[in-house]
Structure 1
Amino acid sequence: MKIERLIKMANDIGNFFNSEPDKEIAAEGIKNHILRSWDPRMRKSIIAYCQEDGAELNDLVKAAISKLPA
């Protein structure tokens, strides 16, 4: 899957959880969603993108991805 698609998907998940006032809870929700729903190749790609640049990810998504096991 292309990284552009993964970025869009991750930001869409982030937008859903952004309504949560507690951003730690929101980041945990994003992390859990990605762990449950994304296959390991997708997770590996988005983690690598976030570590290398991550410019197109919103801040809440970056926080959630940083909590994912490598």
Structure 2
Amino acid sequence: MNIDQLVTMANQIGSFFKSYPDQGKAKEEIANHLTKFWAPPMRNQIKEHVSKNAGKGLEVIVIDAIQKHL
């Protein structure tokens, strides 16, 4: 899948959970959602994007969720 599409989708997920009062829990839930609903190649691609491109285009909360929980 195109990385730009994955970034958009991940940011949409992040936007939903960003409203949680507990930001630590929000990050866990973002990662849980990616684990449950994204195919392994999609998760691997977004993790690689964070690793190699500093998560360019991703919201900070999404980057943190990926780095800490995926």
1:55 matched to 2:52: no
- State the match for 1:41 in structure 2: 41
Question: Aligned partners of 1:12 and 1:64: how far apart in 2?
Answer: 13
Question: Aligned partners of 1:64 and 1:51: how far apart in 2?
Answer: 13
Question: 1:28 deviation in Å?
Answer: 0.2
Question: Aligned partners of 2:43 and 2:27: how far apart in 1?
Answer: 15
User: What's the TM-score once normalised by structure 2's chain length?
Assistant: 0.94
Question: Aligned partners of 2:11 and 2:51: how far apart in 1?
Answer: 16
Structure whose residues are more often helix by fraction: 2
Question: Aligned partners of 1:2 and 1:50: how far apart in 2?
Answer: 14
Aligned positions of 1:1-70 closer than 5 A:
1-53=1-53, 54-66=55-67, 67-68=69-70
Give the 4+ runs in structure 1 shifted more than 3 A: none
Root-mean-square deviation (Å): 0.6
Q: Percent identity?
A: 43
Letter in 1 for 2:59: N
Question: 1:21 deviation in Å?
Answer: 1.3
Question: 1:18 deviation in Å?
Answer: 0.6
Question: 1:40 deviation in Å?
Answer: 0.4
